[in-house]
Amino acid sequence: MLRRVVIGAAMACLMSGAAYAVDEGEVDNECTQQLAATEEVVQNKIDANALSDADAEKVNELLDEADAYCTQGKFTEASATLATISGMVAKTK
């Protein structure tokens, strides 16, 4: 139960960080949209308990990495990281 709370809190922090960036007047770009869509898919998998603890932790680390790439303007790297996450999530049932 504690694990779910921690994962949920981590996802809330990730999503609020993206919302804060948009509130600051950043241009809403394709990278941010892809990141948000991927975060939603990951959150759905976490809510459905379709990811193991290790996979959820790794996916959250990769989401942080992709967010950093988007913020830095490294869109190619962000897209590659998001593709990795999508592949990991697609393997789960």
pLDDT digits (tens, 9 = 90+) for 6-40: 566 566 666 665 555 544 444 347 898 999 999 99
What is the reported pLDDT for 11?
63
DSSP states of the chain: -HHHHHHHHHHHHHHHHHHHHHHTT----HHHHHHHHHHHHHHHHHHTT-S-HHHHHHHHHHHHHHHHHHHHT-HHHHHHHHHHHHHHHHT--
pLDDT tens per residue across span 40-83: 999 999 898 888 889 999 999 999 999 999 999 889 999 999 99
> Quick one: pLDDT at residue 9?
59
